[in-house]
Structure 1
Amino acid sequence: MPEAVETGVPGGDVAARHLRTPETDTPVLVVDDLVVDHRNRSTGEVFRAVDHVSLRIEAGQSVAVVGESGSGKTTLAMAATGLGTRGEGDIRLLGHSLSSVGRKELRRLRPEVQVVFQDPHGSLDPRQSVRSGLRELRTLQPRRTDWIDDTGLLGRVRLAPELLDRYPHQLSGGQAQRVCIARALLMRPRLIVADEPTSGLDVSVQADVLALLKEIRATTGAALLMISHDLAVVRSVCDVVHVMYRGRVVESGPCETVFATPENEYTRELLAAMPGARWRSRR
């Protein structure tokens, strides 16, 4: 039998118990020498979006990929989780190579990765209330989603139960993003991919959403892959950072080390752009 591990959530409910399976000690995600090419639809020209990138995410770890728009960070995340163009290279999710698993195994693995996108309203079906959307997920994955009821789930993301009967257009940006996080949490994933999850939100709401992601990581044991252009966001949430520029990772390391002693000029430029930054580009 798998061993239940207390994660410190008050009340000791079932959500506070993260089952330790043989996969728990296996890296959640390993990307080895990934290459992804895209074709420009208008010109037909092929360009390299991800250029020989490798990264590793351990169980429960929080890893960031940062860079400006067009750096390849989202393409990397989508390829690495099997949600986008796979490209060339080895991608292993919970020890399973995505290039060799069959359809049945891939269907089993997909719920282990949940994505929280930049635009929460665009992620929700405008024709469904919050309750209806959760009911649909429960119908698709009844065994994964029976650990908590809808009211309890919304409480986990600090939303009032009356929001269950609201539609996406009746939610603020922060509320809609919390609903998206709740939907991800419902599946009890091993990995949550947060793709610019706060970029469209007010500053005060951003802080609340980031605190919620940190809490979920601490209380469930899920790993977090944060995609962002904002180093301040990364610093507050993540253990390790990979800096991408034009499809390549130009610097990697523990967040505090990279922030304190950046080695790459592009990293220094990103840090110099932060409010109150002490680093200034030497160009």
Structure 2
Amino acid sequence: MGQGNMQGLVARLRSWQRQRVLRRAALPEPLWRRTIEALPLLHGLDDTELQRLRELATLFLHHKEIHSVADLAVDEAMRVTLAAQAALPILNLGIDWYRGWTTIVLYPGDFIARHRYRDELGLEHEEEAAMAGEAWEQGPVVLSWADVADSGRLDGFNVVIHEFAHKLDMLNGEPNGYPPLHRDMRADDWAEAFSKAFADLEARIERGDESLPLDPYAAEEPAEFFSVASEAFFELPGNLRQDYPEVYRQLAAFYRQDPAARLSGRPGWL
């Protein structure tokens, strides 16, 4: 059997397996409708997009294991709320963009993360920080359920999108704000748009500007800028398009979506 025939056979087998999962693990219609209604983030999606989102959420819950800690009881409504938001960034990319890892850990609220690192002198340090989310390279995504529940309100905060943007960033190595781009995208355009916006945000913070276009955490490093910008892209797309139009254009090309156009009919939207 030739390579082309083998690839075709593998593709058909994977398609059959996914259709089987979608038939056997379909999300209950009433629960899915309640989830969509409760998440303004998903308002504006048309029927075709909502169906695709539902399929991706189903596949997501099939392929990923959700574990809770600290006596957090996770019910099906919580699982679907998480999956629906996680599926949005890959709506036009596909479930394979979340490949290479399987586990999600849910805490009731913020958790303490401990990290060790070496400084430029070779000295080892350990630091602790309270966090709402964390993504490990080739490892789990750790989330605070309280922050997951607060996400999706179109206020610029979305811990699910933030951490899953890190996972997309990690597809080609350590997170650095440069995920694997599509063939019709130019690396130079991406680098120019993000480096200029990053420098602008740093300058505004340095000046002490009270009104910032993004959460100041975005200025920590390029990887955080990409994830925070991704939050803004889906949660406050009109604002991001106005403040950093080139960043918006690059994210629209990467995610294959235009949420500013999708949400433009909402009252008060830019």
Q: TM-score, normalised by structure 1?
A: 0.30
Structure with the largest fraction of helix: 2
Of structures 1 and 2, the one with the larger relative CO (CA 8 A, separation 6+) is 1
Structure with the largest fraction of strand: 1
Q: TM-score, normalised by structure 2?
A: 0.31
